[in-house]
Amino acid sequence: MTSSLKSLLSPAVWPGFFLAGMAASAFAFSSSHPLLVFVGFYLAGVLALGALEKLVPHQEDWLRSDGEAMNDIAHTLLTKGAVEALSAIATLTPLISASILQPILNFKPGLWPEHWPLFFQVVLALIIAEFGLYWAHRIAHERLFFWRFHALHHSVEKLWVVNTGRFHVMDSLFKVCLSQVPLYLMGAPLSVFLWVGAVTAYIGLLTHCNIRVKTGPLDYVFSTPNLHRWHHSREIWESNTNYGENLVLFDLIFSTYYNPAKAPPKDIGISGRVAKGFVGQILQPFSQRGVAEILGKQPIESNLPHEAISEQKTA
């Protein structure tokens, strides 16, 4: 691909893919099998972004093999395949849980503005959900008890579309509780939950993709790849920023927005290590030894102040 074509493609990827995802979601939600159709479009989106990662990568190094080709294949067949399959499910958990639980609970306290146009209901829901997502994410960084689960997501040493949903199940449940429960309590309808899940799913793919994108003013509204790459930095003062899942509204309000005029780091990850296998990754945070491995040293008391915990995380 020529450099001129790459220059034209870079600013078009984020809005183009997001709008295509929203159009696909609208089609899926109007079909007789909304979840099945949505998942089909979502997987097609993963493949499309995977192809673009090869054509216009943000980091060439994140594409290169490290000489462990056979080990990588074995690891993929034995563990990574299962991890990523479950990660895809985790990414779609809000949408699936809304489809099942919301009709069963049928909670109607009369607090939700159902008379509003659907678009404005979704915007309101995104803001309410984002408040919970922001604090769940921030707490996961600032409190050791929660960091032990969230570290799995930050253990990756390259960002690409496949590790979008690499979250520990406890981490995902914590985020769902803080973001979706308020919407349930307010009586938001199923259609709103579906659209919040769709926005979250497609922005998540874009946020983690290894594609050269130019997002400009979108950086002040949405969580974009450039912002999230800073969030994955090994430097604590850089990674404890940009907590927004979909929107950066609360990063701006609570002064955790970080977008310097320089390239984000390509050296990402954590100082500790996570278990190799899927089952080991699930069990590791529940043992003292596992927490020590995640931290890269001996466990510390969970009642230490945030500054001490931050030092332990990056030591």
Angle at 261 between CA 258 and CA 266, to 5 degrees: 75
Query: Residue 143 burial by CB count (10 A; 0-12/13-18/19+): exposed, middle or buried?
Result: middle
What pLDDT, on the 0 to 100 scale, is given for residue 125?
97
Question: Tell me, what DSSP letter sits at residue 263?
Answer: P
Domain ranges in the chain are 3-314
Question: Is 122 in contact with 196 (CB distance < 8 Å)?
Answer: yes
pTM of the model: 0.82
d(CA 202, CA 173) in angstroms, rounded, equals 19
Count the helices and strands in the chain (H runs, E runs): 15, 0
Encode the chain (315 residues) as per-residue pLDDT tens digits.
667 777 788 999 999 999 999 999 999 999 999 888 998 998 899 889 989 998 999 988 887 643 322 323 333 333 333 433 443 444 455 555 555 555 555 556 678 999 999 999 999 999 999 999 999 999 999 999 999 999 989 988 888 887 887 888 889 889 988 998 899 889 888 889 889 989 998 999 999 999 999 999 999 999 999 999 999 999 999 999 999 999 999 999 999 999 999 999 988 999 898 888 778 888 999 999 999 999 986 443 433 334 434 444 544
d(CA 160, CA 58) in angstroms, rounded, equals 10
In this structure, what token pair is assigned to residue 227? 């912002």
Question: Is 141 in contact with 258 (CB distance < 8 Å)?
Answer: no
